[in-house]
């Protein structure tokens, strides 16, 4: 028997082990700690037996419960697909107007449309549909090609100035570049157009001549009153909402180069339900027509 020895400084018993005069104090682990430790060993063994645990050569120990996270996910996916299937079928059959007036279809279409918008449309139209120079704002009730559900659906399906046979088409002539108008006429009509929205005009411009040039060259597409024409995608020039920027320079530039923006056709890229959902979603954004 090793004789019990009490350390003078701490008053604690030593274990009797000593190295070069250093003595080991005997401070046992607290009870609560030990019991927690033993309990966790018992729990670990229990867990190995019940749950998937050890890797084996070709497989793994699956545990008595046969629990599988993968199986749970598969079940959830299957349940979601059932749900989608039903609503998807209902959406396929319903007209755009029906979707809008049926609360549960509308809710599904809005969620679906919003997600698809983020994936496909936001790069050009902005994440909230706010647009940018050359990319129309879809949040206002100003529509180039018409803002009814069917107009929007049609625009989405076949695009604008694409190769598709049903695409929306109509370019503005390059009045300046192709010398349809001379420099004075361009200046005058640009200022006349600017004046329709109350923008600053060129002091040298003859607005009366501008109006004449407008009536002769522009009214056929933009309308006598400048309110635009959705059939040819000609914007309203009198509402101070601008696709290409609201100042005299931007207007002069557009009259010089004409042309028109291109929006892709989606009919071959997105499924019919998604396209309907998008039409309903976009219509809701802008206060459609």
Binding region for heme c: 121, 124-125, 172, 218, 221-222, 263
Count of residues engaged in binding ligand HEC, rule: CB under 6 A = 47
Instruction: Give whole-number Cα distances, 248 to 9, 72, 143, 202, 245, in Å.
Output: 93, 62, 22, 8, 9
Residue 153 in the binding site for ligand HEC (CB under 6 A): no
Nearer to ligand HEC by Cβ, of 52 and 130: the residue is: 130
CB of 239 to ligand HEC, least distance (A): 9
205 or 282: CB nearest ligand HEC: 282
Q: Is 196 in the site for ligand HEC (CB under 6 A)?
A: no
Tell me: does residue 217 bind ligand HEC (CB under 6 A). Answer: yes
Q: Which is nearer to ligand HEC, 6 or 220 (CB)?
A: 220
Exposed / middle / buried, residue 80 (Cβ in 10 Å: 0-12, 13-18, 19+) = exposed
Residue 123 or 287: which CB sits closer to ligand HEC? Answer: 123
- Within 221-280, the residues that bind ligand HEC by CB under 6 A are 221-222, 232-235, 237, 242-244, 251, 254-255, 260-264, 266, 278
Contact 142, 242 (CB under 8 A): no
CA atoms within 13 Å, Cβ hemisphere of 79: 6
E-only strand ranges, the chain: 14-19, 22-25
Could you give the C-alpha distances from 258 to 113, 175, 218, in angstroms and in order?
Answer: 33, 7, 12
Q: Minimal CA–CA distance to 197: which of 229, 235, 164?
A: 235
Question: Do 125 and 285 contact (CB within 8 A), yes or no?
Answer: no
- Of 99, 149, 167, 172, the one binding ligand HEC by CB under 6 A: 172
One of 99, 105, 157, 193 touching ligand HEC (CB under 6 A): 193
The reply to whether 173 sits near ligand HEC by the rule CB under 6 A is yes
Q: Using CA atoms, how far apart are residues 35 and 20, in angstroms rounded to an integer?
A: 35
144 binds ligand HEC (CB under 6 A): yes
- The β-bridge partners of 229 are 234
158 forms part of the interface with ligand HEC (CB under 6 A): no
236 token code pair = 């309203």
Interface with ligand HEC (CB under 6 A)? 117, 120-121, 123-125, 134-136, 138, 143-145, 152, 155-156, 160, 170, 172-173, 175, 189, 193, 217-218, 220-222, 232-235, 237, 242-244, 251, 254-255, 260-264, 266, 278, 282
């Amino acid at each position: 028997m090793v004789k019990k020895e009490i350390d003078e400084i701490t008053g604690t018993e030593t274990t009797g082990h000593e190295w070069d005069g250093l003595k080991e104090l005997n401070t046992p682990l607290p009870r609560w700690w030990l019991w927690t430790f033993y309990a966790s060993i018992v729990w670990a063994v229990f867990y190995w037996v019940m749950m998937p645990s050890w890797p084996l050569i070709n497989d793994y120990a699956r545990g008595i419960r046969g629990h599988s996270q993968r199986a749970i996910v598969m079940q959830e996916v299957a349940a979601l697909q059932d749900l989608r299937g039903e609503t998807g079928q209902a959406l396929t059959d319903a007209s755009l107007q029906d979707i809008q007036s049926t609360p549960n279809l509308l809710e599904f279409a809005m969620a679906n449309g919003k997600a698809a918008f983020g994936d496909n449309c936001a790069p050009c139209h902005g994440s909230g549909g706010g647009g940018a120079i050359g990319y129309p704002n879809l949040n206002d009730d100003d529509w180039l090609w018409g803002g009814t559900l069917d107009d929007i659906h049609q625009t989405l399906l076949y695009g604008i100035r694409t190769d598709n046979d049903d695409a929306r088409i109509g370019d503005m002539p390059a009045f300046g570049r192709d010398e349809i108008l001379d420099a004075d006429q361009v200046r005058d009509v640009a200022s006349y157009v600017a004046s329709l929205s109350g923008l600053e005009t060129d002091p040298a411009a003859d607005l009366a001549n501008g109006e004449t040039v407008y009536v002769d060259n522009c009214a056929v597409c933009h309308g006598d009153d400048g309110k635009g024409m959705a059939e040819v995608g000609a914007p309203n020039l009198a509402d101070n909402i601008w696709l290409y920027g609201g100042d005299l320079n931007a207007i002069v530039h557009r009259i010089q180069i004409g042309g028109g923006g291109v929006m892709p056709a989606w009919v071959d890229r997105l499924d019919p339900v998604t396209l309907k959902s998008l039409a309903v979603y976009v219509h809701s954004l802008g206060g459609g027509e």
